[in-house]
Structure 1
Amino acid sequence: MRAWVQLVFAIGVEIAGTSLLKLSAGFSHPFIGMAGMLLYGLAIFSFSRALSRIPLSVGYAVWAGVGTAVTGLIGILLFGEIMTAIKAVGFSAIIVGVILLNAPVKAPTNEATVRQSRWRTRVNR
């Protein structure tokens, strides 16, 4: 549960950092830009902590998908970007992709999977 909280925090901080970078107007406002960069660093740190307990494929899908979708909505709501049918389809595809990557699946039990499981056990010790 803690890892998911860290992931949500990382996503929120990244979204805030991205918004500040937009507000910095190409670093015309350097302090706003530096604040955005600082938030990016905090986001990466929190994301790395979350990945210690969340599978990489799932963690990155959620990170990138939710971050992209929310940032896109912020662009539309706060920065006057236009919502088009193509953007709506894109947002829908992102959401569906994140859901599908989080869907439980029965893991195959072939030799490669067994070797990978043993390797993960050694690495996580």
Structure 2
Amino acid sequence: MRAWMQLVLAIGVEIVGTSLLKVSAGFSHLWLGMAGMLLYGLAIFSFSLALRKIPLSVGYAIWAGVGTAITGLVGIWAFGEVLTGPKTVGFMAIIIGVILLNMPVKASSPRPARRWRSRTTRE
């Protein structure tokens, strides 16, 4: 449950950070841009903690998909962007994709996790 809360935090912080980058107008307002960058760092840190328990494929799909959809809605609500037919279809595709990725699947035999080693490590 904690990993899912960290993923939600990562998504929320990234959305706020992205919105601050928009408001910073290309870093014309330096402090807003810097705050946005700081929040991006916090989002990545929180996401990395979530990935301790959540599979990478599922975690990244949710992070990217939900973050993209909500950021798109923030753009429409806060910045006056227009919701077009193709955008609506795109939002629906994101939602359907996240649902499909979270559906349980019965695997015959799970592959063992691959452990990464440094190339300089000698056996």
* RMSD of aligned residue pairs (Cα, Å): 1.3
Please, which runs of 5 or more residues in structure 1 have no aligned partner?
none
| Structure 1 position 26 matched with structure 2 position 26 | yes
Percent identity reads 74
Answer 1 or 2: which has greater helix percent.
1
Q: Secondary structure, in 3 states, of the residue corresponding to 1:45?
A: helix
Please, which runs of 5 or more residues in structure 2 have no aligned partner?
117-123
| Structure 1 position 54 matched with structure 2 position 54 | yes
Could you say which residue in structure 2 is the equivalent of 1:67? 67
Cα distance per residue 1:25-66 (max 9 Å; x no partner): 000000000000000000000000000000000000100010
The number of equivalent residue pairs is 116
What is the distance in 1 between the residues matched to 2:47 and 2:66? Answer: 13
| Structure 1 position 93 matched with structure 2 position 93 | yes
What is the distance in 1 between the residues matched to 2:108 and 2:84? Answer: 41
4+ residue runs over 4 A deviation: none
Q: What TM-score comes out, normalization by structure 1 length?
A: 0.89
Q: What TM-score comes out, normalization by structure 2 length?
A: 0.90
Q: Secondary structure, in 3 states, of the residue corresponding to 1:46?
A: helix
What is the distance in 1 between the residues matched to 2:20 and 2:56? Answer: 27
